[in-house]
Amino acid sequence: MAKKKTKTSPYDSAEYLDSAEAINAYMEDALETDDPAFIAKALGTIARARGMSQIAKKAGLSRESLYKALSTEGNPEFGTVIRVMHALGLKFSITAANAR
């Protein structure tokens, strides 16, 4: 008896970031990880969802440098993160954590 092959396709989170609410939830979840590489990658995924070339232009960066900075191997400067967030229409919101 021959085994059936399961057909799969690549999953891309950017395909599901089609509303402000979805983007906010995605970024909030990324920030909760406290993992700088994951947070940068999440920004990159949001930028891809919105159009990487357009976001790079708004942020004053080349598309290639934006891809590199927001990859899992990238380590963007904080200024780059701020410029990308502004280009995406995102802003930081601070909430004090419970005192330890």
Quickly count: other Cβ atoms within 10 Å of residue 16's Cβ.
Answer: 13
Q: What is the spatial distance between Cα 42 and Cα 26, in angstroms, rounded to a whole number?
A: 8
The answer to whether the pTM exceeds 0.85 is no
- Segments forming the whole domain that contains residue 84: 19-88
In this structure, is residue 71 part of a structural domain? yes
In this structure, is residue 9 part of a structural domain? no
In this structure, is residue 29 part of a structural domain? yes
In this structure, is residue 2 part of a structural domain? no
**C-alpha distances out from residue 32 to 26, 29, 63, 85, 93, Å:** 10, 5, 27, 17, 13
More confident residue, 96 or 70: 70
In this structure, is residue 99 part of a structural domain? no
In this structure, is residue 32 part of a structural domain? yes
In this structure, is residue 95 part of a structural domain? no
Contact 65, 40 (CB under 8 A): no
75, amino acid identity: N
Q: What is the mean pLDDT of the chain?
A: 90
In this structure, is residue 1 part of a structural domain? no
pLDDT tens digits, one per residue of 22-65: 999 999 999 999 999 899 999 999 999 999 999 999 999 999 99
Question: How many domains is the chain partitioned into structurally?
Answer: 1
Q: Give every CB contact of residue 63 below 8 A, 6+ residues apart in sequence.
A: 52, 53, 56
